[in-house]
Amino acid sequence: MDRIIIRGGASLNGAIPISGAKNAALPLMTASLLTAETLELANVPRLADVQLLLRILGNHGVDHTIVGRRPGESAESGQTLRLQASTIIDTTAPYELVSRMRASFWVIAPLLARFGEARVSLPGGCAIGTRPVDLLIDALQALGAEIEIDAGYVVARAKDGLRGARIAFPKVTVSGTHVAMMAAALARGETVIENAAREPEIVDVADCLNAMGAEITGAGTPRITIAGVTSLHGARHAVLPDRIETGTYAMAVAMAGGDVTLENTRADLLQSALDVVARTGVEISQTPSGIRVRRQGGRLAPVHVTTEPFPGFATDLQAQFMALMTRADGISHIRETIFENRFMHVQELARLGAKIRLDGDLAIVEGVPELRGAPVMATDLRASVSLVIAALAAEGETTINRVYHLDRGFEALESKLTRCGAQVERVRA
């Protein structure tokens, strides 16, 4: 199993290109099941989760082509995928595939909307909590689907097609909003989603569906309206920049010190997180090509933060920010309100010398003058990159094990950091 070795102490200087957003690319790929025509997606990151979803879609009969680079494109421009679901041979998504990536459960919506049936394995739990699919199932039932659970599979049927309805989520759910939008796009009549997620990835998926012929308005607000259409056609769409990757590298520069421009990204995608990082004493400014992050000496100021749905501080940046606060000059409070069990990185940060105390959903972080390298183990995607951030400022050498988590969500992490001066090495198993 691969591991990453980081020798801390080097500042970061230069430019880091930001990849396409994984959290948009996955539902966009799933949306290819809604049409028999070709959906072309540009700026798709090269990630393990993308490869796994291609396998899952292929299991249904979706053909895919990876398009070669075009003039002016660089290796960091992302890959272009062409997906065609003209002949679907199977509407079952088996456990052995769905169990490896929760987002693959979302295929239930386009399969049901287009073919009137779907049989998808329940995804089970994960390292950061149960994340149940009950809200997704409730949304499909509101649209007229008949649902039953059979031997660990969700069996959904809509023999006469789905019909528009009012869907009022009791709490904000990104996955539920994705599923409801995709299903409602081909439903008869109008669907209104209340308390919808407002994340930029929701807007990106809605934009793509509209380019395919859907009629969706209100994406990015708590109320989304979908006028169902009889069919969708092919389209070309570029995946938006990854705001979580943007925030992660901003915090890496804040931790290590230096001066880095994060290219091909936008501040409006994560303004709350950038504001929080700026409060630590880091200089953040917009440039024509992206966002400049600069810290030259001095201790970081402690900051209290609470994770919230967009436009608040993202839960997917909580672990990274906790790593940053381990070196703050004082005590910071980090409250996690989205997922239970999302403090599993605390014990590994402690191995590097961090002082963190947990009280329910609150982490109390007492900044220390220095961290020291040690062997650590990643528990999930965001926890793994928080260890990378901590290791950048730790004295000596840190070995991060189980880095397959990193490969799920961060494209070319080692090379992006190395080109800015970090001493990062991947050791192949």
Residues 405-418: tens digit of each pLDDT = 899 989 999 999 99
Q: Is 159 annotated as a binding residue?
A: no
Q: Is 172 annotated as a binding residue?
A: no
420 in catalytic set: no
Q: Is 317 annotated as a binding residue?
A: no
Whether the Cβ atoms of residue 90 and residue 120 lie closer than 8 Å to each other = no
In angstroms, the first-to-last Cα distance of the chain is 5
* pTM for this prediction: 0.95
Whether the Cβ atoms of residue 387 and residue 349 lie closer than 8 Å to each other = yes
Q: Is 47 annotated as a binding residue?
A: no
In angstroms, rounded to a whole number, what is the distance separating the alpha carbons of residues 107 and 244? 24
Question: What mean pLDDT comes out for the span 118-145?
Answer: 80
In angstroms, rounded to a whole number, what is the distance separating the alpha carbons of residues 289 and 291? 7
In angstroms, rounded to a whole number, what is the distance separating the alpha carbons of residues 37 and 22? 23
Q: Is 4 annotated as a binding residue?
A: no
Active-site position among 126, 127, 301, 368 = 126
Least Cα distance to 10 among 377, 315, 420, 285 occurs for: 420
- Delineate the domains of the chain, giving CATH numbers in brackets: 3-19+241-427 (3.65.10.10), 22-238 (3.65.10.10)
Whether the Cβ atoms of residue 390 and residue 418 lie closer than 8 Å to each other = no
Q: Is 316 annotated as a binding residue?
A: yes
Least Cα distance to 82 among 203, 242, 235, 239 occurs for: 235
The CA–CA distances, whole Å, from 255 to 310, 340, 380, 404 equal 24, 26, 21, 23
Q: Is 276 annotated as a binding residue?
A: no
Grade residue 73 by pLDDT with cuts at 50, 70 and 90. Answer: low
Grade residue 72 by pLDDT with cuts at 50, 70 and 90. Answer: low
- Using CA atoms of 152, 138, 194, 313 in order, give the dihedral in degrees to the nearest 10: -20
pLDDT at 298: 87
SS3 content of the chain, % helix, strand, coil (to 5): 35, 30, 35
| Six token digits for residue 260 | 């880095």
Q: Is the pLDDT of residue 126 over 60?
A: no
353 DSSP 8-state letter: T
Name 429's Cβ contacts closer than 8 Å, sequence gap at least 6: 1, 2, 3
Least Cα distance to 9 among 399, 391, 400 occurs for: 391
Instruction: Estimate the crossing angle of helix 271-279 against helix 243-256, to 10 degrees.
Output: 10
Q: Is 131 annotated as a binding residue?
A: yes
pLDDT at 77: 67
pLDDT at 404: 87
Least Cα distance to 273 among 241, 312, 238 occurs for: 312
Grade residue 380 by pLDDT with cuts at 50, 70 and 90. Answer: confident
